[in-house]
Structure 1
Amino acid sequence: MRIFLERYFEFSRLGTNWRTEVLAGVTTFLTMAYIVLVNPAILAQSGMPLPAVTAATCLSAALGSILMGVVARYPIALAPGMGLNAYFTYTVCIKMHIPWQTALGAVFLSGTVFLLLTAFGIRQLILRSIPQELYAAVACGIGLFIAFIGLTKAGLVVQSPVTLVQLGNIKDPTTALSLLGLGLMVALEIWKIKGSILIGVLTVTAAAWALGLTHWTRAGGGVQSLTATAFKLDIPGAFRVGLLEIVFVFFFVDLFDNLGTLVAVTKRAGLLAADHSIPRLNRILFADAAATVAGSLTGTSTVTSYVESTAGVAAGGRSGITAIVTGLLFLVAMVAAPFIGIVPSAATAPALILVGSMMLTTVTEIRWTEPLVAVPAFLTVILIPLTYSIANGLGFGIIAWAVLHLAAGKLSRRDWLLYLLAALFLVRFVYLSAS
């Protein structure tokens, strides 16, 4: 069996071994394990039961990562996506007043669309139609969105009747503790200590308890808690016309997340083909889509590939075994469900700020000296946090790209799908203005 597995995962060709792959899987888990704490904290604000969402987060991450490792054989781990969970909670459930059960139905539909479009090769076609600079801009915009949410949760940014927002009171214990937590996480990152975010969250949580800044009532957790969210999705409700845009956003943001992650991980691992294509792309996309469907059924937002997988690659991971090990550790992490309620906002806020800052690394991929690129990219980046909507930033970016290139006489038949997407977004904005 061992020889068969080594052949299936191509250990010899990739120059790897079991010890390296296992350690890489552990490294990836430690780097992204913060999602076990942060994702439930965000989704719980939509009204979802915290213990159930914690268990669903662990289970969906485990299923997605293991599926990616077995089917696609890549060292890419999956979990509920940052940015997408914020859109699910703050835009769909809170701003649009849509029940979380219906929002889960929209996630299920987007995952089903993923599967169908992957099977017919359309998803791959869409991936190739979006300019690389807009992918980078979306990542930056989502990073600012996540960081802004973290800043408000920390109390560092508060509402102002005059200037909309202003600096909060840094003497407030929660704000001060959040800043100390952020400093600790950054220091651990500088020292290259694995699991820096998780260590920071746990340390701030302990400090908050010691200072009497948080209180906790034990809640149920583990596998049994899944009954509160599993199969509670409202698919018929998600078929309403008003939710088509939500499915649309879940679909496209996941596309962007995946492309950036795939390029980052495969480049770092040296797994790109000679023509710069990604081998077994269909299998990667299938694993991602299936994980999203499974996540919606268990009770969490869209599951996507994590760029933190590059940490495992840096540790030597090259095969699907890395992802499988990460998935198995997420299964073990399900025991954290009964204790997740002890984590205060002062602990999760700095994690959101740091993760948001990390997502800004793609800003260097944008040609800021070229107006045809810079303006659409800027609109995408700035409108995502300022309108509190990933959909708005994404839509304006694509429309601006299409309009400017059309005005400059750089229309090309090969870009027909991009212009179709721009038209769909324009119809969306007109519809929202009329409603």
Structure 2
Amino acid sequence: MLERIFGLKAQGTTIRTEVLAGVTTFMTMAYIVVVNPAILGQAGMPVAAVAAATCLAAGFGSILMGLIANYPIALAPGMGLNAYFTFTVVKGMGVPWETALGCVFLSGVIFLILTVAGIRQLIVGAIPRPLFSAVAAGVGLFIAFIGLKEAGIIVADPATTVALGDLTTPTAIVALVGLLAIAALQAWRVKGAILIGVLLAAAAGWALGLGRLAPGGYSLEALAATAFKMDVAGAFDLKGGLGLAMVEIIFVFLFVDLFDNVGTLVAVTKKAGLVAPDGSIPRLNRILLADSAATMVGAAAGTSTVVSYIESAAGVAAGGRTGLTAVVVGLLFLATLFFAPLVQAIPAAATAPALILVGAMMIGSLAEIDWADPSVAIPAFLTLITIPLTFSIANGLAFGITSYALLKLLKGQIRRSDWLLLVLAALFIVRFIYLAKG
């Protein structure tokens, strides 16, 4: 049956290899079960419930990816988009988390429609590739900045905006212990380094009195606090003074999800040798259908946008070549669901190092940018720097796409096929004017 579903022999793999690859991928990305609730919890969402939603979304998405697309690519709530959800949408704009979940659900619906209609190809073609890399790195800086702030390593300062915090506080000590542990484990190529490091930091935190080892609420029934709480009607409500802002929120969820997927798919499929001779990715629409469906299920369960995980490359390196790898990852996430309530016992200081080092890993995409070409380097830099410094992925996208389009226009290199790029740039300019007047 497995041979018929996944075509193991055709890909030169075995059940044993695929299972081991699935376990490897799961170990490298299981940290999301701890880190995602820590971030969304700051938006006022119940931590244990978000942990369960994270397991459900990752389990469903990964299994669906394996079954309908037959790729060794695992899915889970995306880093960066969860930070955007909490710090920009909920805290920055004052949008209730239920309404923000409604926006996530709508972005999944729109992504599904765009995929079925084939419009996705137009959008992907309109966005310059260097900006994909710049957005990924900018999101990495954004995540790392939040981690440093949560760790107390950097603090607000009226004279210099930010400054070095007191590294002798229990919070900073725990975060530094976790940072060193994860870095050392990664240097030693230990599988699951981030998860192990977070648990070691949590142990240090418990020893210093930063958290309780025995949290309350072990019943899975208590985890229904976020299930089906999304407010889709609220996301449609344009009369509450957030009209354009709500459209922007959905736009960012949609586009960053799109960027994240394209970058991950290219990297993982190349590593697995699954790219077609013409450079295209077979069954691409099925991959994107699985992603959009997982985002909708995740929003209904109570978590932010679900994306393809670059950590899937670890499973590919271990020999994973088919969707059976993804199915194994999904089943492991579903098994983890029963331990989800334990997540609320982990102090925030223990998850901060994971944010910092996940952000560091995302910076590698900058190597793909041609920094010698000013028409590419300047928009990429503006994208990279404005995301963390304005606490907004949307601002980074706006600066990058607008400056790229204007430079191309001034150089006389605009072609008829660039019409969508110009439309996006014009919309961003209107957005800047709207924000200035607002």
Give the TM-score range, shorter chain: over 0.9
Q: Does 1:95 align with 2:92?
A: yes
Q: 1:326 corresponds to which residue? A: 329
Letter in structure 1 aligned against 2:56: L
Aligned partners of 2:404 and 2:209: how far apart in 1? 52
Any residues of structure 2 matched to 1:93-132 within 5 Å, and which?
Answer: 93-132=90-129
CA offset digits 1:121-143 (Å, max 9, x no partner): 00122112211100000000000
Aligned partners of 1:185 and 1:125: how far apart in 2? 40
Instruction: Give the 3 Å change call, closer, same or farther, for CA 84–405 of structure 1 in structure 2.
Output: same
Letter in structure 2 aligned against 1:203: L
Does the aligned pair in 2 maintain the 1:55–1:225 contact within 8 Å? no
Q: 2:30 corresponds to which residue? A: 33
Q: 1:205 corresponds to which residue? A: 202
With normalisation by structure 1, the TM-score equals 0.98
Q: 2:426 corresponds to which residue? A: 423
2:136 to 136, 139, 143: 139
Q: Does 1:406 align with 2:409?
A: yes
Q: 1:157 corresponds to which residue? A: 154
Aligned partners of 1:206 and 1:333: how far apart in 2? 20
Shift of 1:217: 6.2
Any residues of structure 2 matched to 1:271-286 within 5 Å, and which?
Answer: 271-286=274-289
Does the aligned pair in 1 maintain the 2:170–2:205 contact within 8 Å? no
Any residues of structure 2 matched to 1:5-404 within 5 Å, and which?
Answer: 5-215=2-212, 218-221=215-218, 223-239=220-236, 240=238, 241=243, 242-404=245-407
CA offset digits 1:216-264 (Å, max 9, x no partner): 6623246423421111111111012231110010000101100110011
Please, which runs of 5 or more residues in structure 2 have no aligned partner?
none
Q: Which piece of structure 1 moves more, 166-175 or 291-300?
A: 166-175
Shift of 1:420: 1.4
Aligned partners of 1:192 and 1:12: how far apart in 2? 29
Aligned partners of 1:127 and 1:222: how far apart in 2? 44
Letter in structure 2 aligned against 1:335: F
Aligned partners of 1:221 and 1:291: how far apart in 2? 26
CA offset digits 1:353-403 (Å, max 9, x no partner): 000000001010001110000000000000000000000001110000000
User: Helix, strand or coil for the counterpart of 1:82?
Assistant: coil
Shift of 1:421: 1.4
Aligned partners of 2:126 and 2:223: how far apart in 1? 39
User: Helix, strand or coil for the counterpart of 1:95?
Assistant: coil
CA offset digits 1:262-312 (Å, max 9, x no partner): 011001101000011000000000000000010111110000100000000
Aligned partners of 1:77 and 1:221: how far apart in 2? 27
CA offset digits 1:325-349 (Å, max 9, x no partner): 0000000111222211111122100
Please, which runs of 5 or more residues in structure 1 have no aligned partner?
none
Q: Which piece of structure 1 moves more, 223-232 or 243-252?
A: 223-232
Aligned partners of 1:270 and 1:138: how far apart in 2? 26
Aligned partners of 2:75 and 2:323: how far apart in 1? 12
Letter in structure 1 aligned against 2:340: A
What is the aligned length? 432
Q: Which runs of 4+ in 1 moved over 4 A?
A: none
Does the aligned pair in 1 maintain the 2:5–2:67 contact within 8 Å? no
Does the aligned pair in 1 maintain the 2:170–2:208 contact within 8 Å? no
Letter in structure 1 aligned against 2:407: L
CA offset digits 1:50-97 (Å, max 9, x no partner): 111110000000000000000000000000000000000000001111
Give me the CA root mean square deviation: 1.1
Instruction: Give the 3 Å change call, closer, same or farther, for CA 19–267 of structure 1 in structure 2.
Output: same
